[in-house]
Structure 1
Amino acid sequence: MADATRLRPFQPGDEPFLTDICVRTAASGEDATGQLPDDSLWANIYALPYAARHPDLTFVVTDDRDEPIGYVLGTDDTDAFERWFAAEYWPAVAHRWPERGNAEDEVDLSAEQAKEARLVGIASGIGSHASPHATRYPAHLHIDLLPQAQGSGWGRKLIDALADALRERGVPGIHLGVGVNNANAIAFYQHLGFVPLNDDSTALGYDLTVAE
């Protein structure tokens, strides 16, 4: 597979693969299948909206069947993206995840329903306030790789592809968020040149104006 693996731009029809990759890496890089009543919620927050709004900023790594096994996707303007998400994307899909009550009420909700309610709350809150990092680092990204695409440099190549596309647009910086328990991811991003933007390194930024 290594010889046939390649990086290419996103193309229509990749969406089911983006959904699968997102779900299978949603638990701090581990498989989150079955953690929600409808696993596709993960992708409808963290993957599919980006491919819908910015297909030209979405890149995938594919296997020997040209099926995506990893991706990077993002936006060049975090605040504009989040306003669009709140006004257009989320209202069009939110009916699939009806309100279940208080996400903290474990008496009436199963563990899966409670997790879903918390994620729906996150989605519903996107766009309600400006990102604290968007002035200096207006772009942001999400990157996920299935195990068969890991450890071969594809993560760096995906980020480089997105960074090059953002530089062409004159974007000065990009940021991302990492789970507090995902030490491997934090170390990976810092190795690539991302710098911590908060005390626990769960927010990291990359200066796109520095020559490589």
Structure 2
Amino acid sequence: MEIRGFADGDRAALRELFVRAGADSPTESLWGHPESEAAVYLEPYLDLEPESLFVAESRGTLVGYLTGCVDSSAFPSESERMDQAIRRYRPMFRRRSAAFFARSLADVAGAAIRRAPMAGDFRGDRWPSHLHINVAPEARGIGAADRLMARWFERLTEAGSPGCHLQTLVENGRAVRFFERMGFTSHGPEPLVPGLRYRGARVHQRTMVRDT
């Protein structure tokens, strides 16, 4: 297996991997429209910070990738990227996605009544960098994720970043355990993620941080 930097010729394979890498996990999909979801969690990294994107390749096939940003304050926030993707693709009018947006409205209204916090962006000078990592099911347990993270930590050291954060789900126990093994610790509250469900239940955002 080879860990290498992103090349422009990887785009098509990365889009395909984006769809299948989260299979059977709580983060497999947001609203059920991969094209607009990739416009939030993949495409901006290819275009705006390709030097912070690394891929795992096995026998000529991409089996994992890590997208990152060294300085989150200089990168569009997740909320901004999501708003742009929704305006562009209008997934709320698609049959597969409509239920997500209906639940989102109900969750937001309920949280407002209870004055409960909702999932959102993280900003912190101590941990300015952030990442997303995805590994295909067939490549789990053979070191692909570990090696991608090791290359990312090298990138942070080279760039002089003081620390990194990520956001996952409390209910994604496999991911949480992996990030803990990579040196991340939980930070802050664990608010509801509006609209998202896993096996019929609500899910909650977990922010995790790590000093470089």
* TM-score of the two chains, using structure 2 as the length reference: 0.73
Aligned-residue offset at 1:197: 0.7
Q: What SS does structure 1 have at the residue aligned with 2:34?
A: coil
Distance 1:144 1:199, change over 3 A: same
Identity of aligned residues (%): 27
**Match for 1:9 among 5, 12, 19?**
5
Aligned to 2:178: 188
Q: What SS does structure 1 have at the residue aligned with 2:8?
A: coil
- Structure 1 unaligned spans of 5+: 102-108, 120-129
Aligned-residue offset at 1:54: 1.0
Higher helix share: 2
* TM-score of the two chains, using structure 1 as the length reference: 0.73
The separation in 2 between residues aligned to 1:118 and 1:59, in whole angstroms, is 35
**Match for 1:206 among 202, 206, 210?**
210
Written as runs of structure 1 = structure 2, the 5 A alignment for 1:79-94 is 79-82=73-76, 86=80, 91=84
Higher strand share: 2
Aligned to 2:90: 98
The separation in 2 between residues aligned to 1:111 and 1:56, in whole angstroms, is 34
Distance 1:45 1:112, change over 3 A: same
More divergent stretch after superposition (170-179 vs 8-17): 8-17
Query: Match for 2:47: what amino acid?
Result: A
**Match for 1:55 among 50, 75, 79?**
50
Aligned-residue offset at 1:24: 1.8
Q: What SS does structure 1 have at the residue aligned with 2:68?
A: strand
Aligned-residue offset at 1:198: 2.5
Distance 1:116 1:149, change over 3 A: farther
Aligned-residue offset at 1:81: 0.5
The separation in 1 between residues aligned to 2:128 and 2:55, in whole angstroms, is 22
Aligned-residue offset at 1:8: 1.0
The separation in 2 between residues aligned to 1:27 and 1:117, in whole angstroms, is 24
Aligned to 1:113: 98
Kindly indicate whether structure 1 or structure 2 has the higher relative contact order, using CA contacts under 8 Å at least 6 residues apart: 2
Aligned to 2:150: 160
The separation in 2 between residues aligned to 1:96 and 1:176, in whole angstroms, is 26
Answering whether residue 15 of structure 2 is matched by residue 19 of structure 1, we say: yes
Q: How many residues align?
A: 183
Aligned to 1:141: 131
The separation in 2 between residues aligned to 1:188 and 1:84, in whole angstroms, is 23
Written as runs of structure 1 = structure 2, the 5 A alignment for 1:169-180 is 169-180=159-170
The separation in 2 between residues aligned to 1:86 and 1:190, in whole angstroms, is 28
